[in-house]
């Protein structure tokens, strides 16, 4: 299934210290004409290449800053350009959740239906995530209230935690807090990467982590996950464990080696990218929905380059790595940030190897 990460706005009401999408440029909002072109293009793509299935993730910025009229237009265009053409549409949203209220809840219910999920990011550590123009602590209060609304409405949600330097001494407590307070929610841990506001010298000096620190963080979190009974909805551990124990696939995009065949990102100006992270960083741009068709998108040189990345890595840097199937060289955006080359493995390679060796080599030996 193709996953389309669609950013209707790059405006945001939060002021997170490590925001990867932060930009000094004026914010932009997606209009109905571009939205129609987006749905038409990816409807054509789904019919041609993906068995009439499309997964749509609304992203940002903060997508719930868009007014109710926008969502009415979006749902109407989804019906006209996708559903009525026989395309099975699954939707989700990634939001900071501070705009989830009794007024916006009906939008989420209509968007998500029975299968969709709200994704949100949160950090319980002080001074990391704040709301613009609000008192300290307002973000946490509004986020917790939103999670209560989602639970009350029976809407599934998942939480992303970004591991940074200030959090390293507290990872077990952070893991326990999320699992105790949100036991039914999916939980995912990602390393902070050097993009957007996190790339600023002061932010990176305070919060950036090395590959080796990420490896140690994974080992510590894996221990907490094991003690918790190895729940399958905690990432990245669940998919790696299933692969190691049973040969089951289902790795997330950055480890699957298939992102070029499974993901696209579209910004509020209609620019089409490899994924949401590429949209944030302005990398791997395929063009605009104004002048792209599915043939031009399918044949774009970026797609050929990224498809060849796996072959190149397997024959060079990753040739002798016993953990190839677990990460496939990692996220191309991480490789680009670390080395400037899309043909490089993730900059977190050393940390991943130390984790795989500490956990899975031990299991194999026993």
Please state, in angstroms and rounded to a whole number, the distance separating the CA atoms of residues 306 and 344: 11
Residues in the chain, how many?
A: 366
Extended strands (E) in 243-321: 263-266, 271-273, 285-288
Q: Give me the DSSP letters along 46-90.
A: HHHHSTTEEEEEE-SS-GGGS-HHHHHHHHHHHHHHTGGGT-EEE
> pTM for the full model?
0.96
Residues pairing with 159 in the sheet: 120, 187
Q: Which one-letter DSSP state was computed for residue 27?
A: P
Q: What domains lie within the chain, and their CATH numbers?
A: 2-299 (3.20.20.70)
pLDDT tens profile 297-340: 999 999 999 999 999 999 999 999 999 999 999 999 999 999 99
Distances from the Cα of 287 to the Cα of 52, 110, 294, 302, 306, angstroms: 23, 31, 12, 11, 16
pLDDT in tens, 230-289: 999 999 999 999 999 988 778 999 999 989 999 999 999 999 999 999 999 999 999 999
Judge whether residue 186 has pLDDT over 70: yes
CA dist 245 → 30, 230, 232 (Å): 45, 12, 13
The whole-number pLDDT of residue 202 equals 86
Please give the pLDDT value at position 294: 97
Give CA–CA dist 351/215, Å, rounded. Answer: 4
Q: What is the mean pLDDT of the chain?
A: 95
> 44, 292 in Cβ contact below 8 A?
no
């Amino acid at each position: 299934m193709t996953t389309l990460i669609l950013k209707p706005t790059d405006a945001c009401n939060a002021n997170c210290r490590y925001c990867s999408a932060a930009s000094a440029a004026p914010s932009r909002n997606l209009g109905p004409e571009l939205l129609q072109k987006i749905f038409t293009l990816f409807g054509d793509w789904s019919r041609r290449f993906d068995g009439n299935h499309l997964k749509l993730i609304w992203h940002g910025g903060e997508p719930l800053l868009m007014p109710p009229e926008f969502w009415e237009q979006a749902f109407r265009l989804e019906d006209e350009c996708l559903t009525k053409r026989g395309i099975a549409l699954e939707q989700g949203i990634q939001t900071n959740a501070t705009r989830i209220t009794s007024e916006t809840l009906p939008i989420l219910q209509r968007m998500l239906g029975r299968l969709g999920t709200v994704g949100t990011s949160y950090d319980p550590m002080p001074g990391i995530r704040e709301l613009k123009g609000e008192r300290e602590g307002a973000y946490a209060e509004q986020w917790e209230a939103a999670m209560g609304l989602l639970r009350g409405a029976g809407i599934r949600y998942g939480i992303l935690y970004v591991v940074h330097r200030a959090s390293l001494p507290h990872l077990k407590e952070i893991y326990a807090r999320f699992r105790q307070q949100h036991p039914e929610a999916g939980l995912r841990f990602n390393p902070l990467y050097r993009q957007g506001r996190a790339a600023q010298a002061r932010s990176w000096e305070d919060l950036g982590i090395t590959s080796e620190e990420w490896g140690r963080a994974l080992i510590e979190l894996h221990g907490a996950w094991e003690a918790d009974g190895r729940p399958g909805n905690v990432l990245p551990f669940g998919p790696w464990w299933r692969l190691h124990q049973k040969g089951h696939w289902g790795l997330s995009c950055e480890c699957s080696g298939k992102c070029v065949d499974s993901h696209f990102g579209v910004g509020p100006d209609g620019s089409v990218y490899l994924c949401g992270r590429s949209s944030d960083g302005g990398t791997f741009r395929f063009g605009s929905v104004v002048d792209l068709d599915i043939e031009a998108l399918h044949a774009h040189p970026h797609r050929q380059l990224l498809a060849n990345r796996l072959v190149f890595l397997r024959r060079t840097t990753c040739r002798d790595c016993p953990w190839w199937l677990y990460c496939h060289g990692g996220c191309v955006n991480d490789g680009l940030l670390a080395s400037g080359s899309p043909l490089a493995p993730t900059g977190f390679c050393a940390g991943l190897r130390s984790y795989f060796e500490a956990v899975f080599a031990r299991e194999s030996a026993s």
